[in-house]
Amino acid sequence: MVRVTIDMTPRTALTARNVFESRKERLKLHWAAGKNGDKRSLEAPDARWSGMALVGYLNTVHANRVQIIGTEELNYLNQLDAQHQSSTKSRIFHQPRTSLVIISDGMDVPQNLLLIADEADMPLIVSQLPAPELIYHLQFYLARALSPKSSMHGVLLSVMGHGVLITGESGVGKSELALELIARGHHLVADDAITIRRTSPEHLEGYCNPKFNHFLEVRGLGILNIHEMFGEAATRLTKRIELIVNLQRMDPQRLSTMDRLHQKESHRNILGIQIPEITVPVTSGRNLSVMIEAAVRNQILVSRGYNAVEDFITIQQDVINSTTC
């Protein structure tokens, strides 16, 4: 049996502190105030707070999870009269939907914003980047960090540039096949426990902890360091999953009953996305690495609209028709 754990819940343990620590160098961040709110969690929009965006320019009506205050927004706040300025700033920093406020362009933070951020325990961070670039970067980062995820047992490889997830019961030969494919010039992405995330409505991406992505366990050989054995180019950090290959042990009798023309397409649903899946019988004398390469080449043709079975049947029918005339 293939072990699959699926979590469609969009919320993950992503806090304001996580965002700051992981992006502080790239976005040139400085924590100005509200440090006691570092455990405020960010979560994707859902039915509770419909219409809420993950990140965007300051919005006092439909608050974003991450509010960006640029030059125009800060000028707007400063131009308000004392009463409206106080109430607006209080509403911004006491908004339960918001987890983080960032001031862009390296602007000086008014003293009253520092005080209210500390009072409300709202993280207030300054970035040296201009607001458009800051929002652009955070949109991609948060979408990936908060995307639905699942975990799966198998080996993920990049074969001819296509992400191939090899699955099958324990001991069927997944790692041995992966090692042979790597020796043939293909690339290891993840072994054993693969994390899968939905990066778009149509795409899945697989990866593992980057500290372990270059290790492969092979029965009889133990743990192999693919990076050291085959070089840096033999591994990849992530890969879009485009084909699932399910290895199955089969006796000759069961093998003889398989659909030899492979007329029916099979798919596996992972996180709401249908991924093409093929079953490859594991029997003595079969060159599985060549079969996987052939399966990938065929999948490339299928994605371009070509179907070898339909082409074969059409030619066969033409031959039959020509001989009966």
Q: What is the DSSP string of 112-127?
A: HHHHHHHHHT--EEEE
Average pLDDT, the chain: 87
Compute the distance between CA of residue 246 and CA of residue 231 in angstroms, rounded to an integer: 28
Residues making up the chain, counted from first to last: 325
Q: Of the ranges 197-201, 221-225, 313-317, which is most confident?
A: 221-225
- What lies within 8 Å, CB to CB, of 126 at 6+ separation is 29, 30, 32, 102, 103, 106, 107, 109
Compute the distance between CA of residue 137 and CA of residue 140 in angstroms, rounded to an integer: 6
Burial 117-141 (b: 16+ CB within 10 A, else e): bbebbbbbbbbebebeebbebbeeb
Nearest to 270 by CA among 289, 244, 252: 244
Task: Determine which one of 23, 89, 149, 153 is catalytic.
Answer: 153
30 membership: H or E segment, kind and range: strand 29-33
Task: Determine which one of 48, 211, 260, 264 is catalytic.
Answer: 260
Active site residue 174: yes
Give me the phi and psi of 102, to 5 degrees please: -125, 130
Confidence of residue 3 (pLDDT cuts 50, 70, 90): very low
Q: What is the mean pLDDT of residues 223-251?
A: 93
Active site residue 239: no
Task: Determine which one of 192, 227, 240, 268 is catalytic.
Answer: 192
Task: Summarize pLDDT for 66-93 with one digit per residue, the tens.
Answer: 999 999 999 999 898 888 988 999 999 9
Q: What is the mean pLDDT of residues 274-278?
A: 93
Nearest to 55 by CA among 40, 42, 43, 68: 68
215 membership: H or E segment, kind and range: strand 215-218
Question: For helices 71-79 and 82-93, what crossing angle results, to 10°?
Answer: 130
- Where does 149-312 sit in CATH, by number? 3.40.50.300
- Of 20 and 47, which is predicted with more confidence? 20
Active site residue 153: yes
| Of 19-28, 228-237, 263-272, 308-317, the least confident | 263-272
Q: Which amino acid is at 2?
A: V
Task: Summarize pLDDT for 169-217 with one digit per residue, the tens.
Answer: 988 989 999 999 999 999 999 998 899 999 888 999 999 988 888 999 9
pLDDT of 36: 94
Q: What is the mean pLDDT of residues 248-267?
A: 75
Q: Which ranges of the chain does DSSP label H, i.e. alpha helix?
A: 16-23, 71-79, 82-93, 111-120, 131-145, 174-183, 226-230, 252-256, 288-303, 308-324
pLDDT of 46: 52
The three-class DSSP label of residue 234 is helix
pLDDT of 325: 64
pLDDT of 142: 87
- What lies within 8 Å, CB to CB, of 317 at 6+ separation is none
Domain spans of the chain? 11-145, 149-312
Task: Summarize pLDDT for 155-174 with one digit per residue, the tens.
Answer: 999 999 999 999 999 889 89
pLDDT at 48 over 70: no
Q: What is the mean pLDDT of residues 244-250?
A: 91
Task: Determine which one of 174, 186, 197, 236 is catalytic.
Answer: 174
Active site residue 192: yes
pLDDT of 41: 87
pLDDT of 75: 92
- What lies within 8 Å, CB to CB, of 217 at 6+ separation is 175, 191, 192, 223, 224
Compute the distance between CA of residue 25 and CA of residue 176 in angstroms, rounded to an integer: 40
pLDDT at 5 over 70: no
Q: Which CATH number fits domain 11-145: 3.20.190.10, 3.40.1390.20, 3.60.21.10, 3.30.230.70?
A: 3.40.1390.20
Compute the distance between CA of residue 260 and CA of residue 278 in angstroms, rounded to an integer: 12
Confidence of residue 6 (pLDDT cuts 50, 70, 90): very low
